[in-house]
Amino acid sequence: MIKVGDTIPNTKFVRATAEGPQQVESKDYFAGKTVALFSVPGAFTPTCSARHLPGFVEKADALKAKGIDEIACTAVNDAFVMGAWGKGANADAITMLADGNADFAEAVGLTMDGSGFGMGKRGQRFAMVIKDGVVDKLFVEEPGDFKVSSADYMLEKL
């Protein structure tokens, strides 16, 4: 599993844009800025939709006031689902990064098996602060929990 001080591995995300899906390399995306990245097991799922994403939407200005340049959400979903979820949640302040094949989740060692719920391989629920491509803070949830990956918890630790 990735740890504080590690460089983010280079994988590709896909972002929904007005021009269609756009690939984004993680090495380019995280370079030269401080990013609050949070991962959810799936778009439109209960805790993710009711608490996780809304918390970062509500706290976006407070996070930026503490030195965060950009806030991003990732999930093992496709770019169209991530784009629709972001629009439906009024998450204009959040960059939605699709990790459709779980490449990023695997590369950072934070996958989970959601097969029992018909979800297959997913990313775990976690959050991290990444400064110029290097993990500065890492908050990984225990299975089924939603405590340390919240926007409120991240604000406390900044």
Nearby residues of 122 by Cβ (< 8 Å), 6 or more positions away: 41, 42, 75, 76, 102, 105, 111, 112, 113, 114
* Annotated catalytic residue 73: no
| Antiparallel, parallel or unpaired: β 70-75 and 34-39 | parallel
Among residues 48, 53, 97, 138, the one annotated as catalytic is 48
Rounded-to-integer distance, Cα 158 and Cα 150, Å: 13
Cβ(33)–Cβ(26) under 8 Å? no
By annotation, the residues acting in catalysis are: 48
